[in-house]
Structure formats: structure tokens, C-alpha cells
């Protein structure tokens, strides 16, 4: 069964965050470096997806739906709700702080939730930029701008090689993670260029 069919069945063919039933699509809950499965994706509507990806401005009233979806039995839904509540908390939405205080995660789930740094105050948040000063985000694709010797990997990552679905290292603005060949490696941001 396809992931989309599994998610539609799991969600009763509605957005797993707000419940809308139109213009649904798969959202990969970052960082996604493994195979994409129902354990790291959710089904969302266009409105939720655009705000999750930062394509449209955050609408606090839309996200009141998290009061229900934060209690989902599915971990990727819980993680996404927690991240959005944290973003809302830093945009002066006191109700979001109250909801966060009610949530509890096991250590491995909390580590996943914190991987994007959404729980960090934006005024102190680390910004990852490529060699040209373009802001990098989880899930972006980049190209290496020079040959890089991979320590402990026994190979050289060649200039011009694409690295897809990068993950940001949340506590270091100069580091990203990605897969080159069959190796998962850490790369310095000054050696990559964001692709469109």
C-alpha cells in the first residue's frame, strides 16, 4: 500500500493537524534522512503545509486546531504540533505555552522534535547559510563547491555532487548533515551552495 493511501486511511482522509479535507498532501516531518514512511510523514492540507514550510505567514487562529491534534496517537503528528506550538509561543501566543506544558515525549521523540530548533527563541536561533549567504533549511538540496575529504569515510566527496534532504545541526550554524553516496556525513556550510 502506498504511503499516501496509508496516511489517508490513518487520518480518515483529512488533514492530521486541522481536520480539513481538501487539497491534502504528504508532509515529511524533518529531518527525514531515511526511507519515507508513515512513521515520518503526515497528511496535511494546503494551508497547514504552506505555513509549516514558511511559504505563508503564520496565522495563529488557524493553529488553534493543535489543541486537538497534539493528542494524536501518531508520533509525527505530535512532533509537528509541538514544533508549531513552540513557534506560536515565540509570537506572543500564551495559549501555545499552556498547551506545550501539557505535552510529554520520551527522550527519543523529544530529540526528534528538537532537531529543527523550533523550540529555541528566534532572537537567539542559529541561522545556517550557504557559501553565498542563502539561508538553509531542513530538507533543502545543496551542491558541493569543492572536493571534500571525508574523515573516517575513506573517500572524497566530489565538487558538484548534490546532497538532497539536508538536516541542520541545531547547535552549530556551520554544520549540516546529509547523505553522499551511501554515507551520512557532516558538511561545513561554507562548502555548499543551495540549489533551487
* Strands (DSSP E) found in the chain: 25-28, 41-44, 142-144, 148-150, 155-157, 162-163, 167-168, 175-180, 183-188, 192-194
In a domain, 119, yes or no: no
> In the prediction, which pLDDT does 71 show?
96
What is the average pLDDT score of the chain? Answer: 89
Q: What is the DSSP string of 65-115?
A: GHHHHTT-SSHHHHHHHHHHHHHHHTTT-HHHHHHHHH----HHHHHHHHT
Asked if residue 190 has pLDDT above 90, the reply is yes
Do 80 and 32 fall into the same domain? Answer: yes
Instruction: State the total domains in the chain.
Output: 2
Return the exposure string of 87-119: e unless at least 16 CB atoms fall within 10 Å of the residue's CB, then b: bbbbeebeebeebbeeeeeeeeeeebbbbbbbb
In a domain, 124, yes or no: no
User: What mean pLDDT comes out for the span 10-14?
Assistant: 95
In a domain, 122, yes or no: no
Q: How far apart are CA 17 and CA 150, in angstroms?
A: 40
> In the prediction, which pLDDT does 182 show?
83
DSSP secondary structure letter of residue 136: P
Closest CA to 16 of 84, 64, 78, 62: 78
> In the prediction, which pLDDT does 33 show?
64
Do 163 and 101 fall into the same domain? Answer: no
Do 18 and 92 fall into the same domain? Answer: yes
Q: Which residues pair with 141 in a beta bridge?
A: none
- Could you tell me what percent of the chain has a pLDDT over 90? 58
Do 19 and 105 fall into the same domain? Answer: yes
Amino acid at each position: 500500500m502506498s504511503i499516501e493511501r496509508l496516511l489517508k486511511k490513518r487520518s480518515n482522509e483529512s488533514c492530521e493537524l486541522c481536520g480539513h479535507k481538501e487539497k491534502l498532501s504528504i508532509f515529511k516531518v524533518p529531518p527525514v534522512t531515511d526511507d519515507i514512511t508513515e512513521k515520518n510523514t503526515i497528511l496535511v492540507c494546503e494551508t497547514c503545509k504552506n505555513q509549516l514550510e514558511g511559504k505563508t505567514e503564520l496565522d495563529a487562529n488557524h493553529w488553534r486546531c493543535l489543541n486537538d491534534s497534539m493528542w494524536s496517537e501518531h508520533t509525527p503528528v505530535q512532533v509537528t504540533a509541538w514544533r508549531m506550538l513552540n513557534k506560536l509561543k515565540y509570537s506572543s501566543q500564551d495559549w501555545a505555552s499552556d498547551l506545550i506544558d501539557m505535552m510529554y515525549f520520551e527522550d527519543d521523540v523529544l530529540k526528534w522534535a528538537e532537531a529543527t530548533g523550533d523550540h529555541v527563541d528566534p532572537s537567539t536561533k542559529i541561522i545556517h547559510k550557504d557559501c553565498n549567504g542563502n539561508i538553509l533549511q531542513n530538507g533543502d538540496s545543496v551542491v558541493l563547491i569543492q572536493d571534500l575529504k571525508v574523515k573516517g569515510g575513506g573517500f572524497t566527496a566530489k565538487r558538484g555532487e548534490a546532497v538532497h534532504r539536508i538536516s541542520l545541526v541545531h547547535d552549530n550554524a556551520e554544520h549540516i548533515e546529509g547523505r553522499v553516496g551511501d554515507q551520512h556525513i557532516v558538511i561545513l556550510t561554507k562548502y555548499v551552495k543551495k540549489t533551487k
